[in-house]
Amino acid sequence: MERLTAVRVGPYERHRELLQQAVRAVAAGECCAPFTRAGRGGADAGMRSARTAEKVFGSLSGRAFELGQPGELGRVSSESSPYGVVMDIGYPRCDPAALVAAAGRAMAGWRAAGPYQRAGVAVEILRRLNTRSHELALAVHHTTGRSLSAAFRAAGPPAQDRALEVVARAFAESERVPADLRWESPRGRKEPLAMAGTCALAPRGVSLLVGCPEHPTWNGWPALFASLVTGNPVIVAPHPRSVLPLAITVRVARQVLAEARHDPDLVTLAVAAPGEPLWQRLATDPAVRIVDFTGPARFADWLEQHARQAVVFAHRTGLNTVVVDSTEDYRGLVRGLALSLCLCGGTVRTTPQNILVPTAGIATDEGHKTLRDLGADLGDAVDRLLGHPVRVARLLGAIVDNEVRTGLTQAARYGAVVHASGALHHPDHPDADLRSPLVVRLGVRDERVYAREWPGPVAFLVGTDSTSHSLEVFRRTVGRHGAQFAAVHSIDPLVLAATEAAALDVGVHLVENLADDLPADPSSAAPEPPGGGAHFVTGRFRVVRSRGRSATAVRPPGRDPGELVGA
């Protein structure tokens, strides 16, 4: 049984100060950003390795990505860069049953290592990933289509700080469990019985991480490290379109585990062949006891319905919504909305989709503005933002598949086009398909259109009967389909309070009266508890207790307790 008095050696000793700082910051509700702060000291450490990272990234093209995993059946190559860079990387395709079995075999030793060693190993993995921030950024850039600066934030120090916060939370929860228990039981005949016991963390079992195509590292790392630190082996199943960022992560993790004399099969990569239902097969395997997924509600619902043997952490991207009631900074509101729509060109599912505005208009510091006024001004603001090629490259992401192109064509047919989506030029990658945001004005009765999750740079300006009606629509649509974020603009405290209540009811983060509205690039947002808070960590283990009479229990003659250690 695991004991929290494990010897504090190796990676934990090396990173003890950093880990304890992170634990204290989490307990105090403060931002913990050591990797980001380190990069800001003088010249950015990541910039010094940019050229090396490009060479390393280029060396991966056309080669096998070796991991040394069990059950290898062949090679899979499923990625293509929307920027025209040849990838053709061959990832190992492994028998899923062999990966699950290997993870199960590795689990006992990892559980016995204790939380100190596990947390130390996790921090060491993060430190190694930090030294490869630019390589990871290039991997995200060329698989998700995100701009290079946004990819660096999503796979570099901000994402590493976010993962470190999860490590600290998991470690703190482990320390919270007392190793030894002492109490007196009144069940004795003459006097209370002296009782003793132990507590230990019992990991749930094999964990499956289903990769997010838009945010493979930002959304994937918290789940990976939450499971590892709480004693669970992890099978990483990336989206076929975004394998490389998580493949690099798995390689680094396996190297660190092996160097620390742990079984590297605690972290493995499961890459699907074309048409193979690998996610579904792994998610329903009886030995898989934790499943993590961030993405469309359709698959999240499927996981919750079918992966009954597992704890499912499913975070729906859904219908990110802005409620506009009134403002005392109309120009700031319009600029913020335009920026949110442009960031990453809708290549991530955290851009605003539905902007709910009373059809009669809103009160502003520039007088009354109708719904049509807001639409026209929003379209002009988008054009101004994208009027220079340098800003185009910095803000927009490249379109990665035909689903987005088809969606842009279809959405434009449903209402009045406020801003048409047009092709734009990338100064460094002429073959990249960049599109400006499409904004379509709809009536509130067009719910069949705006209550559907649209991929790519598609937004709807929806006219409602009133702000109260907007909140009704928000509750109904987001309550049914989920969302990552919501925003409200109002100078009325009652409206703000009502929106806060609605956001609590549907369980989404709320941004109030901020110029950048929704953080379309979530790595630029204020830090939030990854996965929604404590249960994201505590749901990955159980506390197991043993108890009995204290101390002087009778032993069979000649039996040494040391004989049982490691049995």
Q: Which of 3-17, 324-338, 423-437 has the lowest mean pLDDT?
A: 3-17
- Residue 253 has, within 13 A of its CA and on its CB side, a CA count of 26
- How far is Cα 400 from Cα 397, in angstroms, rounded to an integer? 9
Task: State the DSSP H helix or E strand holding residue 73, giving kind and residue range, or none if neither.
Answer: strand 72-76
Q: Looking at the predicted structure, is the pLDDT value of residue 546 above 90?
A: no
Write the pLDDT tens digit of every residue in 456-504. 899 999 999 999 999 999 999 999 988 888 999 999 999 999 999 999 9
Contacts of 445 (CB under 8 A, 6+ apart): none
pTM of this prediction?
0.88
Q: Looking at the predicted structure, is the pLDDT value of residue 151 above 80?
A: yes
Closest by Cα among 389, 394, 474 to 430? 389
pLDDT, residue 237, reads: 98
pLDDT, residue 56, reads: 87
pLDDT, residue 3, reads: 45
- How far is Cα 144 from Cα 148, in angstroms, rounded to an integer? 10
pLDDT-derived band at 46 (thresholds 50, 70, 90) equals very low
pLDDT, residue 349, reads: 66
pLDDT, residue 389, reads: 86
pLDDT, residue 124, reads: 97
Write the pLDDT tens digit of every residue in 194-204. 767 777 789 99
Q: Which residue do the tokens 């460094």 mark?
A: 428
E strand map for 136-205: 180-185, 193-203
Longest dimension (CA), the chain: 93
pLDDT, residue 519, reads: 54
- Dihedral in degrees, nearest 10, Cα atoms 141, 142, 144, 145: 80
333 is written with which tokens? 């509101």
The share of the chain scoring above pLDDT 90, in percent, equals 67
* ∠ Cα 272 299 415 (to 5°): 120
Q: Looking at the predicted structure, is the pLDDT value of residue 39 above 80?
A: no
pLDDT, residue 69, reads: 98
pLDDT, residue 558, reads: 46
pLDDT, residue 53, reads: 84
Phi, psi of 174 (to 5 degrees): -65, -45
Q: Looking at the predicted structure, is the pLDDT value of residue 527 above 50?
A: no
DSSP 448-511: HHHTSPPPSSEEEEEEESSHHHHHHHHHHHHHHH-BSEEEEE-S-HHHHHHHHHHHHHHT-EEE
- Dihedral in degrees, nearest 10, Cα atoms 453, 454, 460, 462: -20
- How far is Cα 233 from Cα 212, in angstroms, rounded to an integer? 19
Q: Looking at the predicted structure, is the pLDDT value of residue 283 above 60?
A: yes
pLDDT, residue 484, reads: 85
Answer whether 431's CB lies under 8 Å from 415's CB: no
- How far is Cα 435 from Cα 15, in angstroms, rounded to an integer? 45
Q: Looking at the predicted structure, is the pLDDT value of residue 515 above 80?
A: no
Q: Looking at the predicted structure, is the pLDDT value of residue 153 above 80?
A: yes
Q: Which tops the pLDDT comparison, 184 or 128?
A: 128
Phi, psi of 255 (to 5 degrees): -65, -45
Phi, psi of 479 (to 5 degrees): -60, -30
Write the pLDDT tens digit of every residue in 50-103. 778 888 888 899 999 999 999 999 999 999 999 999 899 999 999 999 999 999
Phi, psi of 364 (to 5 degrees): -135, 175
Q: Looking at the predicted structure, is the pLDDT value of residue 411 above 90?
A: yes
First to last CA, the chain: 11
DSSP 99-142: HHHHHHHHHHHHHHHHHHHHHHHHHHHHHHHHHTHHHHHHHHHH
Average pLDDT value for residue range 560-565: 40
Q: Which residue do the tokens 């010897």 mark?
A: 7
Mean pLDDT, the chain, whole residue set: 87
Task: State the DSSP H helix or E strand holding residue 542, giving kind and residue range, or none if neither.
Answer: strand 541-549
- How far is Cα 256 from Cα 263, in angstroms, rounded to an integer? 10
Q: How many CB atoms lie within 10 A of CB 557?
A: 5
Average pLDDT value for residue range 523-529: 46
pLDDT, residue 30, reads: 87
Closest by Cα among 319, 484, 459, 346 to 403? 346
CA distances from 322 to 325, 356, 361 (A): 10, 6, 15
pLDDT, residue 316, reads: 85
SS3 at position 180: strand
DSSP state for residue 31 in the 8-state scheme: -
Contacts of 21 (CB under 8 A, 6+ apart): 32, 34
Q: Which tops the pLDDT comparison, 201 or 325?
A: 325
Roughly what angle, to the nearest 10 degrees, separates helices 330-342 and 371-385? 60
Q: Which of 60-74, 143-157, 170-184, 249-263 has the lowest mean pLDDT?
A: 170-184
pLDDT-derived band at 216 (thresholds 50, 70, 90) equals very high
Write the pLDDT tens digit of every residue in 334-360. 999 999 999 876 666 668 999 999 999
Q: Which tops the pLDDT comparison, 38 or 461?
A: 461
Q: SS3 sequence, 512-529? A: ECCCCCCCCCHHHCCCCC
Determine the number of helices (DSSP H) and then strands (DSSP E) in the chain.
Answer: 19, 21
Q: Which of 84-98, 297-311, 359-373, 550-564 has the lowest mean pLDDT?
A: 550-564
Q: Looking at the predicted structure, is the pLDDT value of residue 521 above 80?
A: no
pLDDT, residue 300, reads: 92
Answer whether 85's CB lies under 8 Å from 142's CB: yes
pLDDT, residue 199, reads: 74
pLDDT, residue 198, reads: 72
Q: How many CB atoms lie within 10 A of CB 262?
A: 19
